[in-house]
Chain A
Amino acid sequence: GEDVEQSLFLSVREGDSSVINCTYTDSSSTYLYWYKQEPGAGLQLLTYIFSNMDMKQDQRLTVLLNKKDKHLSLRIADTQTGDSAIYFCAESIDDYKLSFGAGTTVTVRA
């Protein structure tokens, strides 16, 4: 997805917080999403945020949205080894499809 950009890799120590960043280009996107993909598995919807919100918290996950800068972030508190995966940022385009970033591979080290 050329419209959504993410850094490709993140290494974090177990117990620390992870922050994954994403920038998007379509200011008309109504929803922005974070998906998780574990090795050999499909995409799991983690959380999403409506475009008129600044923040959404869901247990260990915090999503921050800066609509002016078209910047989205996902913070994972107390990162665990089970959080090792690829995380995709996505925006809804024209209300019928999702446009995905390239994915951020998060590696949790002991």
Chain B
Amino acid sequence: DSGVTQTPKHLITATGQRVTLRCSPRSGDLSVYWYQQSLDQGLQFLIQYYNGEERAKGNILERFSAQQFPDLHSELNLSSLELGDSALYFCASSPTTRASYEQYFGPGTRLTVT
């Protein structure tokens, strides 16, 4: 158990809908990273937050957004969902802003768009 929790574990929704994925980092970790794992794209970095502020953006679509709250949990919002958004979404946390530090991953949320 990495100490990172993600909810829900599974999510099934229809195209065009909007969903919110939630992540709680390990106790004491200030950085949260979001990744998408799909069969065709592999594991892709989406976005990083540190202590409530956005620090870095990767291959995140404009339809997606994220935020980190004062209690350090983070939410990833996915809107106008398309079939191709079906994937595993992972959250990871680390104590610092630096990716060169160890990142610990949550169990993921499996999103299925029908």
Contact = CB atoms under 8 A, between A and B. Distances in A.
A and B: bona fide binding partners: yes
Interface of A: 1, 30-31, 35, 41-45, 48, 88, 92-103
Contacts, number: 57
Interface of B: 2, 4, 33, 42-45, 48, 55-56, 58, 90, 92, 97-100, 102-108
B103 A98 contact: yes
Contacts of A98: 33, 45, 99, 103
Main secondary structure of the interface of A (DSSP, over half): strand
Given A43-B90, A97-B33, A99-B45, A48 B102 contact: yes
A44 to B, nearest CB: 7
B2 A44 contact: yes
B107 A41 contact: yes
Contact of A95 (B100, B104, B107): B100
Contact of B56 (A1, A88, A96, A102): A96
